[in-house]
Amino acid sequence: MQLPPNQQLVAQDKWPIVGERLPASELRPWSVEVAGGVRRPRSFPLEELRALPQATRAIDIHCVTRWSKPGMEFSGVPLAVLLEVCQPTAEARFVSFVARSLRRHSTSLVLSDALELDVLLALAAGGAPLTVDHGGPVRIITPQRYFYKSLKWLDRIELLVDDRLGYWEAEAGYHNHADPWREERYLAPTLTRHAMRQVLASRDFAGRDLRSIDARGHNLDGLNAAAALLRDADFRGCSLRRACFDGANLSNARLQGANLRGATLRGADVEGADFAAADLRESNFTGASLFGASFCTESPAADDPLRDAARIDGTTIIPRSALDALTPRQQVFLLEQLARIDSSARE
Ligand SMILES: Nc1nc2c(c(=O)[nH]1)N[C@H]1C(S)=C(S)[C@@H](COP(=O)(O)O)O[C@H]1N2
Ligand SMILES: [Mo]
């Protein structure tokens, strides 16, 4: 099957948990309220949702951090069924889904998109009731959008005249349209070219928001990028010796061929980052989140299976506990490397 650009398959039996892990604990029984721009606002107790006609759909999950899980079977009530009961007003153009969670997590869609995409209020996945960590008892499933448009623990559906950005969209710059085929992942902050040159020359990125920065080929030895936001950043071919990325967000960053000797990435988020052909000797990944990270090219030439593989040696620290979340091929590559290396230096 064809995947959207820059996505990779998650291992068959795995379904990662992303974002919030639990709903807010409240005693009131679960129900879904439909409110805002509707002629008949009302609340649907869980039992009523379960009693409505259920639809089953095979959905391809595409997480913005680059993993995909195609053909997941979800069953539940189509959003259209609820809206037929509640009747959106003519002015309602957006729909916001709000979670029963501590931060009142939310996400929104253009109402006509939601209906066209056939959004589902899912009660079951793979034939079994949704587990709590995956949004049970009831979550939103939005096909054909990155998975952050699929809200867990649905509490409230609000019809709106003006859009209200969701949590990830407002707080983390996630793209509001989220089409994986167009790679609508994140919005880049705008920096003038002059400001960009200054930032690169200073080698001080600490704590800054430099999402999608294009630093290709620069000499950034000794860079201080502690706690910087570097999602989607392009560091291909950079010299980053002894750089500090501790606590930084490097998700989906491109580091192919970068020299990261002696760099520290302690507690960094490197989900979906690409380290193919990077020099990682003496680097430190303690506590880093490696979900979907790549350390070698996914589809190498048949004659050279480790073409473009990262260089790792006995001084590189990559905790074994983090290997779980890699794709099978990345796992095999790293395990082979680690097996070759004296294990005393790692967790
Ligand atoms: N309530 C709530 N829903 C949420 C999130 C969240 O943090 N809170 N994260 C979103 C993101 S980014 C993803 S990828 C999916 C993850 O769903 P899963 O944990 O079932 O894989 O949930 C989405 N819905
Ligand atoms: Mo996500």
Q: Which residues line ligand 1 (CB under 6 A)?
A: 15-20, 63, 99, 101, 105, 134-135, 147-148, 150-153, 168
Give the rounded distance of the alpha carbon of 143 from its chain centre.
15
Report which of 260, 234, 247, 239 is spatially closest to residue 316, judged by C-alpha positions: 260
Of the ranges 34-48, 191-205, 288-302, which one carries the lowest mean pLDDT score? 288-302
Token duo for residue 341: 């290396």
The residue to mutate among 106, 150, 155, 251, having the most atoms of ligand 1 within 8 angstroms of its beta carbon, is 150
Query: How far does the centroid of ligand 2 lie from the alpha carbon of residue 304, in Å?
Result: 34
The residue to mutate among 107, 139, 148, having the most atoms of ligand 1 within 8 angstroms of its beta carbon, is 148
pLDDT of the residue at 306: 58
Query: How far does the centroid of ligand 1 lie from the alpha carbon of residue 307, in Å?
Result: 35
- Indicate whether 246 pLDDT > 90: yes
Q: What is the pLDDT of residues 2-33, one digit of tens each?
A: 899 989 898 888 899 999 999 999 889 999 99
Q: How far is residue 30 from each of residues 26, 44, 77, measured CA to CA in Å?
A: 9, 9, 15
- Indicate whether 261 pLDDT > 90: yes
- Indicate whether 78 pLDDT > 60: yes
Query: How far does the centroid of ligand 2 lie from the alpha carbon of residue 149, in Å?
Result: 8
What pTM did the predictor assign? 0.72
Nearest CA to ligand 1 atom 13: 148
pLDDT of the residue at 346: 46
In the chain, DSSP assigns E strands to: 8-9, 31-36, 42-45, 55-62, 67-78, 94-99, 106-110, 120-125, 128-129, 139-141, 154-160
Over range 242-257, report the average pLDDT.
96
* Terminal C-alpha separation, the chain: 37
The number of the ligand 1 atom at minimal distance from the alpha carbon of 135 is 20
Is residue 347 very low, low, confident or very high in pLDDT (cuts 50, 70, 90)? very low
User: Backbone phi, then psi, for 98, in 5-degree steps?
Assistant: -120, 135
Give the rounded distance of the alpha carbon of 258 from its chain centre.
24
Nearest CA to ligand 1 atom 2: 152
Over range 233-255, report the average pLDDT.
96
Q: What is the pLDDT of residues 155-198, one digit of tens each?
A: 999 999 999 999 999 888 899 999 999 989 887 666 777 888 89
- Average pLDDT over the chain reads 91
Q: What is the pLDDT of residues 293-326, one digit of tens each?
A: 989 887 656 665 556 889 988 888 888 777 767 8
- Indicate whether 344 pLDDT > 60: no
| Ligand nearest to the CA of residue 155, numbered in listed order | 1
| Ligand nearest to the CA of residue 166, numbered in listed order | 1
pLDDT of the residue at 264: 98
